[in-house]
Structures are given as structure tokens and as C-alpha cells.
Chains A and B, each alone.
Chain A
Amino acid sequence: GNSVTQMEGPVTLSEEAFLTINCTYTATGYPSLFWYVQYPGEGLQLLLKATKADDKGSNKGFEATYRKETTSFHLEKGSVQVSDSAVYFCALSVGTGNQFYFGTGTSLTVIP
């Protein structure tokens, strides 16, 4: 089947620290992979995506590389800011299927 496993939170970092949030997946077929971000009181927003193996998605200083050999799509940022405090969701979608498969979310708090 299709599923996403992401690291449990909550994660607390100091400003300018390096961030990694791990995400691994299982999928039938060749999935597209996504990271969504949810700021407090808001809906989810697409942060970045990658549609094939070895693609790197990037946005707002965040990056993630689609690794088929390790079935992973880890989210990284070199220097986090207080404004990055949010919940981050890894997700996949396969072929013309009807749904996205979301991870359980990782809460990130960045302290000054």
C-alpha cells in the first residue's frame, strides 16, 4: 500500500540552527512527493514538491531530495527563523489515484 512516515515531534530549535525532518514512504508505483506547511490557525500550504527520483524541491530556504533508493524525502533548512514555527506534513500522491497520503505532521518551534 501507500503510506508516509515522518519523524515525531515536537521539535524545538534555536534560531539559526539546522533543521532536518525525516520522511520515508512506501508506494505502489512512482509517487510524487510533497512537503506542506501549516501555520497556526491556517490551512495547509504547499512548501515544495518533487515528481521524480533525484529531483530536489526547494522554496523559502527549505530543500528536500527525492531518494528512490532509500524511499526518503527529508526536509532540510540551513538556518531556521522564528517565522518557520509551524507544523510540517510530508505527503505522497501516486499516478491518477484519488488521494494524497499525509504523514502525521511534525511540529516545529523556533525560539529566539
Chain B
Amino acid sequence: NAGVTQTPKFQVLKTGQSMTLQCAQDMNHNSMYWYRQDPGMGLRLIYYSASEGTTDKGEVPNGYNVSRLNKREFSLRLESAAPSQTSVYFCASSESLGTYEQYFGPGTRLTVT
């Protein structure tokens, strides 16, 4: 059981470069999420997708875009990376919005120089 998978695990970018973080889940979940984790700040929601075909902004969406490609996949794109986007990024999924347990991927550690 793969659960939630993320690629890549590590990435180094130069300021201004773009990249896409990939996420896929095999649990037939409706809802998917992107978080960033920074020291002393816990997890902050970037974007979420309640169901296939919908996406909405979370707490810290600036500088990011997302695509819910199908029910399984939810990608996060940085169009022009900035050092402030250096972080660990986690994808998660849940059966639906609300109080359902969220399942997390292993994370992508991104450094922007």
C-alpha cells in the first residue's frame, strides 16, 4: 500500500526558477492538501482540493499554483521560486473535507538559493 507519494524528495532551486511538486494517492480519497512546514510554525495550508475539479486557497497561497489533475493526483507549482519558499512541503489526502483523518506523504525538502 503506497498511500500518499511525493516526488521529488529533495530539490535545490535558484531564485526565479520554476518547478512542480507531484503528489499522488491510491486510497480513492476525495480531498487533497498541500502544506508547508517551517521551524516553529507547525504546518500551514497552502492550497486544498475538496474534490476532483476544485481547488481553493489556504492560509499561505501566494507564490504557488495547484492543479488537481484527476482524483489521484494533486500538483503544486512554484512559478518563480524565492528564498522565502525554502521549506518542507507535505501533501495529504482525506476521504472528504472536515474531520476525517488526513494521510500525509513523506515530504519534499526544497531549498531556494
Contacts and interface: CB of A to CB of B under 8 A. Distances in A.
Interface in B1-16: 4
Max chain A C-beta neighbours (<10 A), residue from B4, B97, B99, B105: B99
A6 B48 CA distance: 25
Interface residues of B, number: 24
A103 B106 contact: no
Contacts, number: 57
Interface in A22-56: 31-32, 34, 36, 41-46, 49, 51
B37 to A, nearest CB: 8
A104 B90 contact: no
A95 interface: yes
A44 B92 CA distance: 9
Contacts of B50: 98
Contacts of A36: 104
Majority secondary structure, B binding face: loop
B102 A100 contact: yes
B79 interface: no
Nearest to A43: B104
A44 B90 contact: yes
A97 B96 CA distance: 10
A105 B56 contact: no
Interface bracket on A: 20 to 34
Contacts of A42: 106-107
Contacts of A43: 4, 90, 92, 104-107
Interface string B69-113: 000000000000000000000101000011101111111000000
B45 A99 contact: yes
Nearest to A44: B104
B19 interface: no
Interface of A: 31-32, 34, 36, 41-46, 49, 51, 89, 93-100, 102-105
